[in-house]
Amino acid sequence: MAAIRKTIISNCEKTFLMKNLSEWNRLDGRSFTEFRDINIVFGKDWGCCKVSLGKTEVIAQVSCELQQTKSSRPNEGMLNINLELNTMADPSFDASRQSDLSSQLNRLLEKCIKDSKAVDLESLCIKMNERAWSLRVDINVLNNEGNILDCASVAAITALSHFRRPDVTCDGVEYKIHSIKQRDPIPTVIHHYPVCISYAILNEGEYILADPTLLEEGVAEAFLTIGLNSYKELCGLHLGGNARLATKDILETSSKAAKRATELVAIIKNAVEKDTQDRLKLNDIGFHIMPIQEKIEKSTAELSICLDQWTLSKKGKKKKSKNEPMDVDPINENNSDVQQCKETITPLGNGTAKLSEVKGENEWAIVESDEEAEVIFVEPPKADTVSISDSNSEEEQVVVLNPQRLKKSPSKRKKNRI
């Protein structure tokens, strides 16, 4: 059966993304090597955390049970990592069936965390050849906005380092598990903190994007996932898809990833440390006291990204208008025209309205006479002429569309160039 409810990426979206990438822009305003913000929140139980990477969200919970040791490894405990792709995260995911994506992600996580021996399994053994702890990490994806793997790997290792198992005693025959109230629980020994860092490869290796979003993932030709710990040791490398990627690019990307891994591990360790301190102070911790206000800040942050982009495009135009001083006046006139003869919305009654175009001379027609197509922007009403004395060019007059933004512009321009 073909995938049901799959989000299809249209050609328009694809070309738009590629065009933006060719101008070294990403749709969310990040640079190619920039990652989305990561946020870790702990639940009330040990070994429970919610990790969000941008809008991608996962919840991880570690659980443990006593099990018979494996005959092949009689002195070791067990570790299972299970990533569930829920319908909640994406309607095309089906929890009841094992998809290619879920087995691939599970295997990569296993490779990164289990096969790199990050967790000390020997310390989980209670009695050789008899009983050992079996740890199980359940990761549920809540929201899929791309790059589930990075988010899940951080969640898994955070949950493992946060987890504490109950104390157990053995009188020779019977094993007694002491509840958390009776005896202090024991933390898990973590040797190192491996994390996965993913890159999307587009246009035959020309663009390598860190932390791809859902749309970028859909358009990408290949993915490069690098498992690394804070000591810059490789814990897994996976290159999927079909891309002609030079060895040099892989090496370069992995050295960038190593830097990111160090940052991530520091974030994880800090978050766990802070949580332990809070618990020692007997503060109330858990999802039930999650701050709600956070979201407002986020949405304004997104807005400011849009505005940044907007000023950037305007600045580009300003430079052009410098070169053609003759254009300046007509534009100014246009602006006032634009304000006046916009389409008007006439209310027709209960909850309905009509959008009617105002007849008269079309404001766009005047602009058409200019050579530059980019000048066709509906400008904010505060357009204003100011002479800039410190500019090196010979022109006396420059249009400054928003005088307040002028002060910031040099630094911003530099930033955007990078």
Residue 192's Cβ-side half-sphere holds a number of Cα atoms within 13 Å equal to 19
Write out the binding residues for other proteins, residues 68-87 only, by CB under 8 A. 84, 86-87
Quickly tell me which residue has 């309905």 as its tokens.
352
Q: Tell me if 59 contacts other proteins by CB under 8 A.
A: yes
Q: Tell me if 116 contacts other proteins by CB under 8 A.
A: no
Quickly tell me which residue has 């309607």 as its tokens.
91
Choose, by CB under 8 A, the member of 55, 279, 315, 413 that binds other proteins: 55
Write out the binding residues for other proteins, residues 336-355 only, by CB under 8 A. none
Q: Which is nearer to other proteins, 145 or 327 (CB)?
A: 145
End-to-end CA distance of the chain: 46
By rule CB under 8 A, what count of residues binds other proteins? Answer: 38
Q: Tell me if 43 contacts other proteins by CB under 8 A.
A: yes
- Please give the Cα distance from 365 to 209 (Å, whole number): 40
Type of residue at 66: L
Determine the Cα angle at 211 with ends 207 and 214, to 5°: 90
Q: Would you list the DSSP string of 245-303?
A: --HHHHHHHHHHHHHHHHHHHHHHHHHHHHHHHHHHTT---SGGG--STHHHHHHHHHH
Q: Phi, psi at residue 58, to the nearest 5°?
A: -135, 155
Q: Tell me if 58 contacts other proteins by CB under 8 A.
A: no
Write out the binding residues for other proteins, residues 184-223 only, by CB under 8 A. none
Choose, by CB under 8 A, the member of 17, 48, 160, 243 that binds other proteins: 48
Sole window of 41-49, 218-226, 265-273, 398-406 interacting with other proteins (rule: CB under 8 A): 41-49
- Please give the Cα distance from 386 to 396 (Å, whole number): 9
Cα–Cα distances in angstroms (integers) from residue 351 to residues 90, 346, 354, 416, in the given order: 34, 11, 11, 44
Write the binding mask 128 to 147 for other proteins: x where contact by CB under 8 A, - elsewhere: --------x-x-x-xxxx--
Write out the binding residues for other proteins, residues 297-316 only, by CB under 8 A. 298-299
Choose, by CB under 8 A, the member of 25, 61, 161, 335 that binds other proteins: 61
Q: Which is nearer to other proteins, 33 or 143 (CB)?
A: 143
Minimum Å distance from CB 283 to other proteins? 14
Binding positions for other proteins, rule: CB under 8 A? 4-5, 43-45, 48, 50, 55, 57, 59, 61-63, 84, 86-91, 95, 136, 138, 140, 142-145, 286-288, 290, 292-293, 295-296, 298-299
